[in-house]
């Protein structure tokens, strides 16, 4: 019998010094946990905020997590999503080869989000 993989989702965003900026990210994490309470969900930031992605991943791995999905919470796919984040994830893959790291597409590329934003804008 195989041991089921422990799965986590990391919501990854740019970060800000303004503590109010984090509220929407934390609301997404809370909503995700509401629907999947068994899932480990964390927020991580590129800069200007803590925790950063390596810190969050180390914490999750210490909890026995073996499958980490990183979700870029970017509307636009600029340099951070295109270059910086893939490099960070590759460094994590190298450092923790026993863990499966999945880098998802930025949320701004999802047609469902685009449709929802258009709907909200039209109201």
Do the bridges between strand 40-45 and strand 67-72 make them parallel or antiparallel, or are there none, so unpaired?
A: unpaired
Domains of the chain by residue range: 7-122
Fold designation for 7-122: Rossmann fold (3.40.50)
Stated pTM of the model: 0.92
- Write the CA distances from 40 to 15, 60, 94, integer angstroms: 20, 8, 22
CA distance 40 to 84: 24
The position carrying tokens 């629907």 is 35
**Residues contacting 11, CB < 8 A, separation 6+:** 25, 28, 29, 32, 41, 42, 43, 44, 71, 73
pLDDT digits (tens, 9 = 90+) for 57-112: 999 999 999 999 999 999 988 787 788 999 999 999 999 999 999 999 999 999 99
Confidence at residue 80, expressed as pLDDT on a 0 to 100 scale = 75
């Amino acid at each position: 019998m195989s041991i089921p993989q422990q799965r986590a989702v990391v919501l990854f965003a740019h970060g800000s010094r303004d503590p109010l900026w984090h509220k929407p990210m934390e609301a997404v994490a809370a909503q995700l946990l509401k629907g999947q309470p068994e899932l480990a969900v964390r927020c991580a930031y590129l800069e200007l905020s803590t925790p950063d992605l390596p810190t969050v991943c180390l914490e999750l791995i210490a909890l026995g997590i073996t499958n980490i999905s990183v979700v870029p919470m970017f509307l636009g796919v600029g340099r951070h999503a295109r270059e910086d984040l893939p490099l960070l994830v590759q460094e994590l893959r190298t450092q923790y080869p026993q863990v499966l790291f999945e880098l998802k597409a930025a949320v701004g590329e999802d047609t469902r989000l685009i449709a929802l934003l258009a709907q909200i804008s039209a109201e």
